[in-house]
Amino acid sequence: MKPCNYLSLTRKDSSINGTFVIDPTLRIPPSLLPSLEEGESEGERKNLRLVSDYGVVDVEIYLVDGERDETSTPIPRTTLYAKADHGWVVVKLVSSR
């Protein structure tokens, strides 16, 4: 799987299942970023946001550092958000840090 960053998925009447690879060092052009949630600032943007209204969130998330060298800037804080209004959330988090 190819890594991604700032991914946002919302399902109204279905579940979210799958595997996601998140690399917080990936730079995404602003024109491709998902819209911010109401009241959310750019500094609070989630690296992964998964929301299911009527279903479950059952995912495996791989958190990776990407390609870096010792002169690179520090890895930014990574924020993951998962919510199921009428279901449950199961997250398996695997980190390479």
4-62, pLDDT tens digit by residue?
999 999 999 999 999 999 999 899 999 999 999 899 999 999 999 999 999 999 999 99
List, as own/partner pairs, every contact residues 31-34 make where C-beta atoms lie below 8 angstroms and the sequence separation is at least 24, other chains included.
Answer: 33/6, 34/6, 34/7, 34/8
Angle at 4 between CA 53 and CA 22, to 5 degrees: 80
pLDDT at residue 77, as a whole number: 85
Q: pLDDT-based confidence at 67, cuts 50/70/90?
A: low
Tokens 């690179």 sit on residue: 72
Ramachandran angles phi, psi of 94, nearest 5° = -120, 125
pLDDT at residue 15, as a whole number: 97
pLDDT at residue 72, as a whole number: 65
Which amino acid type is present at position 89? V
Which amino acid type is present at position 80? L
